[in-house]
Amino acid sequence: MKNMSGNGHKVYDFEHFHMIHTRNLVKGYRSHEVETPVLINVNIDIGDGEYVAIAGPSGSGKSTLFNILGLLEQPDQGELFFRGREVSVLSDRYRIKLRRGHIGYVFRQFNLVDELTVAENVELPLLYMSLSRKQRKEMVMESLFRFKLDHIRKSFPRQLTGLQQQVTALARATVFNPSLLLADEPTGNLNSTGGNEILELLSAVNETGTTVVIFTNSMQDAQKTQRIIQLFDGHVVTDMGQKGN
Ligand SMILES: Nc1ncnc2c1ncn2[C@@H]1O[C@H](COP(=O)(O)OP(=O)(O)OP(=O)(O)O)[C@@H](O)[C@H]1O
Protein backbone atom coordinates (compact mmCIF):
# COMPACT_ATOMS: atom_id res chain seq x y z
CA MET A 1 0.00 0.00 0.00
CA LYS A 2 1.32 3.46 -0.83
CA ASN A 3 0.76 6.69 0.97
CA MET A 4 2.31 10.14 0.82
CA SER A 5 5.01 11.39 3.16
CA GLY A 6 4.94 14.95 4.52
CA ASN A 7 7.02 16.22 1.60
CA GLY A 8 4.65 14.71 -0.96
CA HIS A 9 6.93 11.84 -1.99
CA LYS A 10 5.44 8.40 -2.22
CA VAL A 11 6.49 6.07 0.59
CA TYR A 12 5.88 2.34 0.49
CA ASP A 13 4.36 0.64 3.53
CA PHE A 14 6.03 -2.75 3.67
CA GLU A 15 5.07 -5.52 5.97
CA HIS A 16 8.78 -6.38 5.98
CA PHE A 17 11.26 -3.61 5.46
CA HIS A 18 12.70 -3.59 1.95
CA MET A 19 16.03 -2.15 0.99
CA ILE A 20 15.18 -2.10 -2.71
CA HIS A 21 11.80 -2.31 -4.38
CA THR A 22 11.34 -1.71 -8.09
CA ARG A 23 8.23 -1.69 -10.22
CA ASN A 24 8.45 -1.98 -14.00
CA LEU A 25 11.82 -0.29 -14.40
CA VAL A 26 12.56 0.57 -18.01
CA LYS A 27 15.81 1.92 -19.43
CA GLY A 28 16.98 2.32 -23.01
CA TYR A 29 19.75 4.05 -24.91
CA ARG A 30 19.24 6.08 -28.04
CA SER A 31 21.92 6.27 -30.69
CA HIS A 32 21.51 7.28 -34.34
CA GLU A 33 17.77 7.62 -33.83
CA VAL A 34 17.56 3.97 -32.77
CA GLU A 35 16.30 3.22 -29.28
CA THR A 36 17.87 0.10 -27.73
CA PRO A 37 15.95 -1.27 -24.76
CA VAL A 38 18.34 -2.37 -22.01
CA LEU A 39 16.03 -2.99 -19.03
CA ILE A 40 12.44 -4.05 -19.62
CA ASN A 41 9.88 -4.00 -16.80
CA VAL A 42 12.32 -5.05 -14.10
CA ASN A 43 10.61 -5.94 -10.80
CA ILE A 44 12.94 -6.69 -7.92
CA ASP A 45 12.50 -6.73 -4.15
CA ILE A 46 15.57 -7.02 -1.97
CA GLY A 47 15.07 -7.19 1.78
CA ASP A 48 17.18 -5.64 4.48
CA GLY A 49 20.21 -7.84 5.22
CA GLU A 50 20.10 -10.06 2.13
CA TYR A 51 23.15 -11.24 0.14
CA VAL A 52 22.01 -11.38 -3.48
CA ALA A 53 23.56 -11.97 -6.90
CA ILE A 54 22.15 -10.40 -10.03
CA ALA A 55 23.55 -12.74 -12.65
CA GLY A 56 23.47 -12.58 -16.42
CA PRO A 57 25.61 -12.75 -19.53
CA SER A 58 27.43 -9.79 -21.02
CA GLY A 59 24.95 -7.27 -22.38
CA SER A 60 22.04 -8.46 -20.23
CA GLY A 61 21.84 -5.06 -18.52
CA LYS A 62 23.68 -5.71 -15.23
CA SER A 63 25.80 -2.54 -15.23
CA THR A 64 22.81 -0.44 -16.19
CA LEU A 65 20.81 -1.95 -13.31
CA PHE A 66 23.80 -1.44 -10.98
CA ASN A 67 23.80 2.27 -11.87
CA ILE A 68 20.06 2.61 -11.37
CA LEU A 69 19.86 0.67 -8.08
CA GLY A 70 22.93 2.61 -6.92
CA LEU A 71 21.13 5.92 -7.65
CA LEU A 72 23.86 6.84 -10.14
CA GLU A 73 21.48 6.89 -13.10
CA GLN A 74 17.74 7.45 -13.51
CA PRO A 75 15.38 4.93 -15.11
CA ASP A 76 13.32 6.12 -18.10
CA GLN A 77 10.15 4.68 -16.58
CA GLY A 78 9.02 2.78 -13.52
CA GLU A 79 9.42 3.20 -9.81
CA LEU A 80 12.42 2.66 -7.60
CA PHE A 81 12.07 2.64 -3.83
CA PHE A 82 15.20 2.74 -1.67
CA ARG A 83 14.58 2.04 2.03
CA GLY A 84 10.89 2.69 1.48
CA ARG A 85 11.29 6.01 -0.29
CA GLU A 86 10.62 6.56 -3.96
CA VAL A 87 13.87 7.87 -5.38
CA SER A 88 13.06 7.99 -9.09
CA VAL A 89 11.34 11.33 -8.42
CA LEU A 90 14.02 12.93 -6.24
CA SER A 91 16.33 15.72 -7.42
CA ASP A 92 19.93 14.89 -8.33
CA ARG A 93 21.11 16.80 -5.27
CA TYR A 94 18.97 14.79 -2.90
CA ARG A 95 19.92 11.49 -4.54
CA ILE A 96 23.62 12.33 -4.14
CA LYS A 97 23.03 13.06 -0.47
CA LEU A 98 21.12 9.82 -0.01
CA ARG A 99 23.73 7.62 -1.67
CA ARG A 100 26.67 9.23 0.19
CA GLY A 101 25.33 8.14 3.54
CA HIS A 102 23.90 4.78 2.59
CA ILE A 103 25.44 3.10 -0.45
CA GLY A 104 28.92 1.65 -0.97
CA TYR A 105 30.21 0.71 -4.44
CA VAL A 106 32.81 -1.79 -5.60
CA PHE A 107 33.78 -1.90 -9.28
CA ARG A 108 35.51 -4.47 -11.42
CA GLN A 109 38.39 -2.09 -12.19
CA PHE A 110 39.03 -1.29 -8.48
CA ASN A 111 38.85 2.48 -9.29
CA LEU A 112 41.39 3.54 -6.68
CA VAL A 113 43.04 6.96 -6.87
CA ASP A 114 46.66 6.30 -7.95
CA GLU A 115 48.11 9.34 -6.19
CA LEU A 116 46.64 8.43 -2.80
CA THR A 117 47.86 5.80 -0.34
CA VAL A 118 45.70 2.87 0.78
CA ALA A 119 44.69 4.76 3.95
CA GLU A 120 43.87 7.92 1.96
CA ASN A 121 41.79 5.96 -0.54
CA VAL A 122 39.82 4.37 2.29
CA GLU A 123 39.24 7.80 3.83
CA LEU A 124 37.81 9.31 0.63
CA PRO A 125 34.04 8.76 1.23
CA LEU A 126 34.39 10.18 4.74
CA LEU A 127 35.56 13.54 3.38
CA TYR A 128 32.01 14.17 2.16
CA MET A 129 30.52 13.60 5.59
CA SER A 130 30.42 15.90 8.59
CA LEU A 131 33.13 14.16 10.56
CA SER A 132 36.11 15.49 12.44
CA ARG A 133 39.64 14.53 11.38
CA LYS A 134 39.90 12.39 14.53
CA GLN A 135 36.65 10.54 13.77
CA ARG A 136 37.81 9.91 10.18
CA LYS A 137 41.15 8.60 11.37
CA GLU A 138 39.48 6.20 13.80
CA MET A 139 37.08 4.89 11.17
CA VAL A 140 39.91 4.40 8.66
CA MET A 141 42.07 2.58 11.20
CA GLU A 142 39.17 0.31 12.14
CA SER A 143 38.53 -0.50 8.48
CA LEU A 144 42.23 -1.13 7.71
CA PHE A 145 42.39 -3.45 10.71
CA ARG A 146 39.18 -5.25 9.77
CA PHE A 147 40.40 -5.95 6.21
CA LYS A 148 44.00 -6.68 7.29
CA LEU A 149 45.36 -3.75 5.29
CA ASP A 150 47.14 -2.06 8.15
CA HIS A 151 50.63 -3.14 7.07
CA ILE A 152 50.18 -1.62 3.60
CA ARG A 153 48.33 1.54 4.65
CA LYS A 154 51.10 3.78 3.31
CA SER A 155 51.46 1.96 -0.05
CA PHE A 156 50.14 3.30 -3.32
CA PRO A 157 47.78 1.28 -5.56
CA ARG A 158 50.53 0.53 -8.13
CA GLN A 159 52.53 -1.23 -5.41
CA LEU A 160 49.67 -3.62 -4.61
CA THR A 161 48.48 -6.93 -6.04
CA GLY A 162 45.10 -6.97 -7.77
CA LEU A 163 43.57 -8.65 -4.72
CA GLN A 164 45.02 -6.04 -2.34
CA GLN A 165 43.61 -3.30 -4.59
CA GLN A 166 40.16 -4.86 -4.54
CA VAL A 167 40.27 -5.35 -0.75
CA THR A 168 41.23 -1.66 -0.47
CA ALA A 169 38.26 -0.78 -2.70
CA LEU A 170 36.04 -2.90 -0.44
CA ALA A 171 37.39 -1.16 2.68
CA ARG A 172 36.69 2.22 1.05
CA ALA A 173 33.16 1.15 0.12
CA THR A 174 32.31 0.01 3.64
CA VAL A 175 34.26 2.45 5.85
CA PHE A 176 31.07 4.42 6.62
CA ASN A 177 28.98 1.28 7.31
CA PRO A 178 26.61 1.59 4.36
CA SER A 179 23.21 -0.06 4.59
CA LEU A 180 23.65 -1.25 0.98
CA LEU A 181 26.79 -2.47 -0.78
CA LEU A 182 26.70 -2.89 -4.57
CA ALA A 183 29.52 -4.71 -6.34
CA ASP A 184 29.78 -4.75 -10.15
CA GLU A 185 31.79 -7.81 -11.31
CA PRO A 186 33.91 -7.65 -8.14
CA THR A 187 35.95 -10.73 -9.13
CA GLY A 188 36.25 -9.86 -12.83
CA ASN A 189 39.91 -8.81 -12.67
CA LEU A 190 41.07 -11.44 -10.20
CA ASN A 191 42.17 -15.08 -10.40
CA SER A 192 39.91 -17.65 -8.77
CA THR A 193 41.75 -17.60 -5.43
CA GLY A 194 41.51 -13.81 -5.23
CA GLY A 195 37.92 -13.92 -6.43
CA ASN A 196 36.93 -16.39 -3.73
CA GLU A 197 38.61 -14.27 -1.09
CA ILE A 198 36.63 -11.20 -2.20
CA LEU A 199 33.38 -13.19 -2.15
CA GLU A 200 34.16 -14.35 1.39
CA LEU A 201 34.85 -10.76 2.46
CA LEU A 202 31.56 -9.66 0.87
CA SER A 203 29.80 -12.41 2.80
CA ALA A 204 31.47 -11.19 6.01
CA VAL A 205 30.31 -7.64 5.26
CA ASN A 206 26.79 -9.03 4.82
CA GLU A 207 27.04 -10.79 8.20
CA THR A 208 27.55 -7.42 9.87
CA GLY A 209 24.07 -6.41 8.63
CA THR A 210 24.84 -4.69 5.33
CA THR A 211 22.66 -5.72 2.39
CA VAL A 212 25.03 -6.90 -0.35
CA VAL A 213 24.18 -7.15 -4.05
CA ILE A 214 26.76 -8.43 -6.52
CA PHE A 215 26.36 -8.18 -10.29
CA THR A 216 28.13 -11.00 -12.07
CA ASN A 217 28.32 -13.08 -15.23
CA SER A 218 29.72 -16.01 -13.22
CA MET A 219 27.16 -18.53 -11.95
CA GLN A 220 29.91 -19.94 -9.75
CA ASP A 221 30.21 -16.58 -8.00
CA ALA A 222 26.44 -16.16 -7.87
CA GLN A 223 26.04 -19.53 -6.13
CA LYS A 224 28.10 -18.26 -3.20
CA THR A 225 25.31 -15.80 -2.32
CA GLN A 226 21.94 -16.55 -0.69
CA ARG A 227 19.78 -15.72 -3.67
CA ILE A 228 20.21 -15.46 -7.45
CA ILE A 229 18.22 -13.12 -9.65
CA GLN A 230 18.90 -13.93 -13.30
CA LEU A 231 18.84 -11.21 -15.91
CA PHE A 232 18.64 -11.95 -19.62
CA ASP A 233 18.20 -9.37 -22.38
CA GLY A 234 17.02 -6.82 -19.83
CA HIS A 235 14.38 -9.10 -18.25
CA VAL A 236 14.39 -10.81 -14.86
CA VAL A 237 14.01 -14.44 -15.92
CA THR A 238 14.36 -16.25 -12.60
CA ASP A 239 14.56 -15.28 -8.96
CA MET A 240 15.79 -18.14 -6.78
CA GLY A 241 15.97 -18.25 -3.05
CA GLN A 242 14.08 -15.13 -2.01
CA LYS A 243 13.52 -15.25 1.74
CA GLY A 244 10.00 -16.27 2.52
CA ASN A 245 9.54 -18.16 -0.81
N1 LIG B 1 25.59 4.56 -22.29
C2 LIG B 1 25.17 3.67 -23.17
N3 LIG B 1 24.83 4.04 -24.43
C4 LIG B 1 24.39 3.13 -25.32
N5 LIG B 1 24.23 1.82 -25.08
C6 LIG B 1 24.55 1.38 -23.86
C7 LIG B 1 25.04 2.28 -22.84
N8 LIG B 1 25.27 1.53 -21.71
C9 LIG B 1 24.94 0.27 -22.03
N10 LIG B 1 24.53 0.17 -23.30
C11 LIG B 1 24.07 -1.06 -23.96
O12 LIG B 1 23.14 -1.68 -23.11
C13 LIG B 1 23.28 -3.11 -23.12
C14 LIG B 1 23.45 -3.60 -21.71
O15 LIG B 1 24.67 -3.09 -21.20
P16 LIG B 1 25.17 -3.34 -19.71
O17 LIG B 1 26.56 -2.80 -19.64
O18 LIG B 1 24.17 -2.82 -18.76
O19 LIG B 1 25.16 -4.92 -19.65
P20 LIG B 1 26.06 -5.91 -18.78
O21 LIG B 1 25.20 -7.08 -18.50
O22 LIG B 1 26.63 -5.17 -17.62
O23 LIG B 1 27.21 -6.30 -19.76
P24 LIG B 1 28.78 -6.41 -19.48
O25 LIG B 1 28.96 -7.53 -18.52
O26 LIG B 1 29.36 -6.67 -20.84
O27 LIG B 1 29.19 -5.07 -18.93
C28 LIG B 1 24.46 -3.39 -24.03
O29 LIG B 1 23.94 -3.79 -25.28
C30 LIG B 1 25.20 -2.09 -24.11
O31 LIG B 1 25.82 -1.95 -25.36
All structural domains of the chain with their residue ranges: 49-74+100-240
Q: In this structure, which residue's CA is closest to atom 1 in ligand 1? A: 29
| Cβ(171)–Cβ(143) below 8 Å | yes
Regarding the beta carbon of 217 and ligand 1, being less than 6 Å apart is answered yes
Give the global pTM.
0.90
Tens-place pLDDT, residues 100-113: 889 999 998 889 99
Which of 26, 32, 33, 38 most suits a substitution to test ligand 1, by most atoms within 8 Å of the C-beta?
38
| 43 Cα to the center of ligand 1, angstroms | 19
Regarding the beta carbon of 56 and ligand 1, being less than 6 Å apart is answered yes
Fold type of domain 49-74+100-240: Rossmann fold (3.40.50)
Tens-place pLDDT, residues 7-30: 445 554 444 468 999 999 999 998
Regarding the beta carbon of 187 and ligand 1, being less than 6 Å apart is answered no
Beta-carbon count within 10 A of 149 CB: 22
Return the pLDDT at 14.
47
Enter the ipTM. 0.91
Tens-place pLDDT, residues 182-236: 999 999 999 999 999 999 999 999 999 999 999 999 999 999 999 999 999 999 9
